[in-house]
A and B are shown apart, each in its own frame.
Chain A
């Protein structure tokens, strides 16, 4: 079974631009979660989607948004990029029927904001 895939793997943007990252979950998984990883803040939860609905949200500004499609694929969008948004963005999927299922992670998208 194919794992979680994320595209693109690397991205360079400039301040003020916006960016969209994509995540395709493992087949059969309906829950997708997004995390931001930085050297200073570590791993921080962004949001979780299940069946096209946001189920949980972390403490990030409104510039960070996401959505999930009917095929469970998810996108996250960051508008008006800031230098501090440079990070590794990780996506994880699970079946979603129980809140404590194991999450399986994708390889991440490394975003650099100049």
Chain B
């Protein structure tokens, strides 16, 4: 069965600095998609970034970028120039064509001024 692991329950970063959140996954599929979702205190789940497994190029969305290592089954999220509004729970998620969306346990990110 596919699993998603986030080994950092909590992380903290100073405003304007860079932080990297880790995610590993396990799958026997070759075609799948990976996501990072952000859940602020309002509890609304917001898509941060998405990566297709068949693409070698790492996805980037403004200050957010990923380091996708398919062979290592690793999918980390880098947040550059951190802002106070980035404080939230971050969930890594996996989905293949034949399966449901599977979430990791989340990483709580604190941003200090």
Contacts and interface: CB of A to CB of B under 8 A. Distances in A.
Contacts, number: 49
B97 interface: yes
A100 to B, nearest CB: 4
Contacts of A110: 43
B84 interface: no
A42 B102 contact: no
A22 B8 CA distance: 34
Interface residues of A, number: 22
Interface residues of B, number: 24
Nearest to A108: B43
A100 B102 contact: no
Given A42-B103, A43-B103, A105 B44 contact: yes
A100 B31 CA distance: 10
Contact of A45 (B42, B43, B96, B100): B100
A111 to B, nearest CB: 13
Interface string A95-108: 00011101111111
A100 B95 contact: yes
A107 B44 contact: yes
Given A43-B103, A90-B45, A108-B44, A99 B98 contact: yes
A103 B91 CA distance: 14
Interface string B37-56: 10000111111001000000
Interface of B: 32-33, 35, 37, 42-47, 50, 91, 95-106
Given A58-B100, A100-B32, A107-B44, 10 more contacts: A42-B104, A43-B91, A88-B43, A99-B96, A100-B33, A102-B35, A104-B47, A105-B45, A106-B44, A108-B44
